[in-house]
Chains A and B, each alone.
Chain A
Amino acid sequence: MNRCRVFFELIVLVLAVSAFRSDQPTRYFLYPTIALKPASVQSFTFEFDDELSDDTLFQNRSKEGYPVSYYRRLKASVCFDEKCRLLDVVIYWNITGRYLGFELPVKEFLSKSDHEPFTDEEYHRLNALLADGQSPLGNLSYEELVPRPYFSVKGIDAVTSATAKNVLDYIVKGAAYTTYKMWHFIYGPTKNRVEELTTKSLSPALVLKILESDDPSDKLWALNHINGFVKPDRALRDQLLDFINNSNFSLSERAIHAISAADLRSDSLQLSLLAKFNQADYSQKKLLIKKMNEAPFLNAEVKNNLADQLQKLNAELIGDVLGLYQKFAVKDLEICGKVSKLLHNENRFISQKALKFLENANPDDQVIAKEMADYRLRKP
């Protein structure tokens, strides 16, 4: 039994070692933002505010000219307790700045504190840990990584950091400093440069490609880089409207935010937003009305449709719609007539809003004037 186990372990060891003797670099990658093959490489030099002497960031481009990924070599010492090991690895980023993967140069491998090489499982774990941009590693100092007595003062109990215990969930065992170093490199200044470079290449078509990513953070990145960055074409606009629904608040909220005041010059977009309003939940209804306030004008159908809904909207949304009318100086008798019906609402919060609106609009209509006078007499 023991012989079999020893034999099996030997085979695993031989296979593991042979993997690192391959002529091909070892790569551990996540799914990319854009699944296009790199066709060319462009290099950019920056004064990175980090410890590396290598100041070059490489951008992979597809044959269509889209940036598809970035990479930079991390060659640094991992030191602690006055012992150092060399870390030599190439880090890849997606075009949104999201971590993509790492590549070990031929015959290079990562090792742990006991100089044991990483196993395949540990490489996979490292890859997954590095993908977590919100890892607590971001808030830890180098000294806090390994559980150890914080101090030794005579007469005082040594205290082990509770945080350090938690760190075990975020590192490869035996390679805390390697994990830490790589994580901080990935989420350091290079990430910002990656995003800056991609931003310079943005077009409606590229934004659409990013929006196709399965990763929600890629989608949010793209939605955050529309308003003020690119002028949406028809396809991108339709895609934005698709995101506005009740299934994912964050995407929907960002999609509404991505629509600019200039986009709202389009009557059809205003009507599309009205259709969204009619299906949206309360939080998004508020956002959509607020967005309408940015439009250079208010489409007549939008104006009338909202007036038709006044009786069934809740008190706060009625206030929002009346605010929208005030913004666009809507004072026509048809709208004022519909607003005056709110004077009969048993909710005085609503009826008073209606009165205030009508007083501002000052419609030249005897019937409405009488309704207002009657309301004042009732004083609900």
Chain B
Amino acid sequence: MKRRSALASIGAFSFGIGAKDAVPVEIEREPYKVKKQSLKTDIVVVGGGTAGVIAAIQAGRAGRKVILIENGSQLGGTTTTGGVAFPGIFFAWGKQVIGGIGWELVQEAVALNDDTLPDFSIPHGRHHPRHQVRLNGQLYAMLLEEKCLEAGVQLRFYETPIRLAFQNNTWTVETIGKGTHTEITCQQLIDCTGNGYAAHLAGYKLLREAETQPGTLMFQIGGYDFKSLDLKMIQTRYQEAISKGILVKTDFRNNIVGLLKSEGDNIQHILGADSTTSETHSLANIKGRTALLNTLRFLRTLPGLEKTRIIDMQNETGVRETYRIDGLYKITHEDYVTGKLFDDAVSYSYYPIDVHDENGVVPDHLKEGVVPSVPLRALIPKNSKNFLVAGRCLSSDRLANSALRVQASCMGMGQAAGAAAVLACKLNKTPGEVPMKDLRQLIAEHGGIVPGIA
């Protein structure tokens, strides 16, 4: 009798159950093995975040076989795992500028949660937060998953690429995951990692600023009555704690009142937060949680805040800025604020220039009527073939990127990239060679709003 079986028998007897009737609860299994396999598909999307999901659904709905690789446990990225569940802005100056699959999913999440959409006829400019659609993030994640599966997208959670190779017009994507080691061959590849991670593995150049925007861990605190707090006293004690090194000034923008008033909503700043690798993302998560825990302990020492508690907290720190590709065209700040309409524009974007620093953020709003556009060339790395990016790692300078990175814009890009990859597959071309007329038509057929034709 083997040792485990013997132990199981002893356990059964000790409860007075006859060996004859015992149901074995522990069975010896074959030793664990990493499952190696090769898969073939039309399009691989790396990253199941804001842009990646839309790219994958678009490609699937247009009839292509798609594999979506996501290194986390759910879809939606910043909107869901990051907890920034307000993906605006879809309307500008009284007109919808980003529609299609992203908007469809947002509307469905709103309806299924009995929420109401904002009044989009309210003027923009500094009032842009009024146009934010608040979503139930977890519901949205489930809807994304359902729509991907409906579109025939094969989802591979907990996997990450470790090698990319391009040969004979075919990409080979080698991934590893929990107990998996997979080699996927495909015609087209879309990098929606937000960090240009796949582009880097493919050998394309990436750009990054010396200093990047801080990240934010989203959470909610409660257990106090803000109106009854002695804010002056709290301010004083907060500054004392900073001067003694108990708290870090930049963790909450030196604004304890803001933290208490917002109850934690989008107020934390984690300097240098970077989600590119497991190590950098681990560090960003740890920094965010440490800052919150220290601040929670501090708050609970103050009159009126003794019962402060964490109501909710995201699993990951959201990251605003890391790497961008060096694309066929780099969208500049000037392009963005003047609303340049590119010949190869495939989607709109709308958001103020929005660079966060350690003191907070003062959005620089677009002038009335300005709606920037995104050219296809900004989604294609220089010297690449059969490769696209969508999302915040598109080719753009830092200021333009601070607005382009926002979720609705990434959804628009995701749909455009998905459509470009579909046509590239169909025509056996690289995305930069796809006829713009066909591309625009395909995006519009799937409800997307294309600059110049809508």
A349/B121 in contact, CB under 8 A: no
B99/A314 in contact, CB under 8 A: no
A143 adjacent to chain B (CB < 8 Å): yes
Residue of B62, B111, B447 touching A349 (CB-CB under 8 A): B62
Residues of A in contact with B, size category = 35 or more
A286 adjacent to chain B (CB < 8 Å): yes
B96/A249 in contact, CB under 8 A: yes
Known: A143-B231, A250-B121. A282 touches B100 (CB 8 A): yes
B232/A216 in contact, CB under 8 A: no
Which residues of chain B from 50 to 65 have a CB within 8 Å of any chain A CB?
60-63
A349/B151 in contact, CB under 8 A: yes
A4 adjacent to chain B (CB < 8 Å): no
Residue of A139, A151, A153, A283 touching B104 (CB-CB under 8 A): A283
B360/A153 in contact, CB under 8 A: no
A151 contact set on B, CB distance < 8 A: 232, 235-236, 239
Residue of A150, A162, A216, A287 touching B119 (CB-CB under 8 A): A216
| Mask: chain A, 60-76; 1 = CB below 8 Å from B; 0 = not | 00000000000000000
B94/A248 in contact, CB under 8 A: yes
Which residues of chain A from 22 to 53 have a CB within 8 Å of any chain B CB?
none
Which residues of chain B from 114 to 170 have a CB within 8 Å of any chain A CB?
116-122, 127, 130, 150-152
Could you list 6 further interchain pairs (A-B, Cβ under 8 angstroms) beyond the known A153-B243, A281-B96, A282-B446? A151-B236, A161-B257, A249-B96, A281-B447, A290-B111, A349-B152
B445 adjacent to chain A (CB < 8 Å): yes
From B242, which residue of chain A is reached at the shortest CB distance?
A: A156
A316/B91 in contact, CB under 8 A: no
From A220, which residue of chain B is reached at the shortest CB distance?
A: B119
A281/B94 in contact, CB under 8 A: no
A250/B60 in contact, CB under 8 A: no
A249/B91 in contact, CB under 8 A: yes
A352 adjacent to chain B (CB < 8 Å): yes
B101 contact set on A, CB distance < 8 A: 316
A216/B121 in contact, CB under 8 A: yes
A141 contact set on B, CB distance < 8 A: 226-227, 231, 257, 261
Complex Cα distance, B119 from A347, in Å, reads 37
From A135, which residue of chain B is reached at the shortest CB distance?
A: B127
Chain A residues in the interface with B (C-beta under 8 A): 134, 139, 141, 143-144, 150-151, 153, 155-156, 159, 161-163, 216-217, 220, 224, 248-251, 253, 281-283, 286-287, 290, 314-316, 319, 346-350, 352
Complex Cα distance, B447 from A43, in Å, reads 52
Which residues of chain B from 83 to 123 have a CB within 8 Å of any chain A CB?
91, 94, 96, 99-101, 103-104, 107, 111, 116-122
A346 contact set on B, CB distance < 8 A: 63
B62/A347 in contact, CB under 8 A: yes
A290 contact set on B, CB distance < 8 A: 111
27 chain-A/chain-B pairs, Cβ below 8 angstroms: A141-B227, A144-B231, A150-B235, A151-B236, A151-B239, A153-B239, A155-B243, A156-B239, A156-B242, A162-B359, A162-B360, A163-B258, A216-B119, A220-B119, A249-B91, A249-B120, A281-B96, A282-B99, A283-B99, A286-B107, A287-B107, A290-B111, A314-B446, A314-B447, A346-B63, A347-B63, A352-B152
B364 adjacent to chain A (CB < 8 Å): no
B447/A134 in contact, CB under 8 A: no
Tell me the minimal C-beta distance from A213 to chain B in angstroms.
13
B116 contact set on A, CB distance < 8 A: 224
Complex Cα distance, B58 from A316, in Å, reads 10
B62/A282 in contact, CB under 8 A: no
Residue of A153, A224, A316 touching B240 (CB-CB under 8 A): A153
A134/B235 in contact, CB under 8 A: no
B254 adjacent to chain A (CB < 8 Å): yes
Q: Point out which of A143, A290, A348, A349 has the most chain B C-beta atoms below 10 A from its C-beta.
A: A349
A250/B261 in contact, CB under 8 A: no
Complex Cα distance, B234 from A240, in Å, reads 53
B240 contact set on A, CB distance < 8 A: 153
Residue of B120, B243, B254 touching A250 (CB-CB under 8 A): B120
B119/A217 in contact, CB under 8 A: yes
Tell me the minimal C-beta distance from B7 to chain A in angstroms.
50
B96 contact set on A, CB distance < 8 A: 249, 281, 283
Tell me the minimal C-beta distance from B218 to chain A in angstroms.
18
A349/B63 in contact, CB under 8 A: yes
Residue of B107, B130, B231 touching A134 (CB-CB under 8 A): B130
Minimum-distance CB pairs A-B, first 5: A282-B447, A347-B63, A315-B61, A216-B121, A151-B235
A348/B152 in contact, CB under 8 A: yes
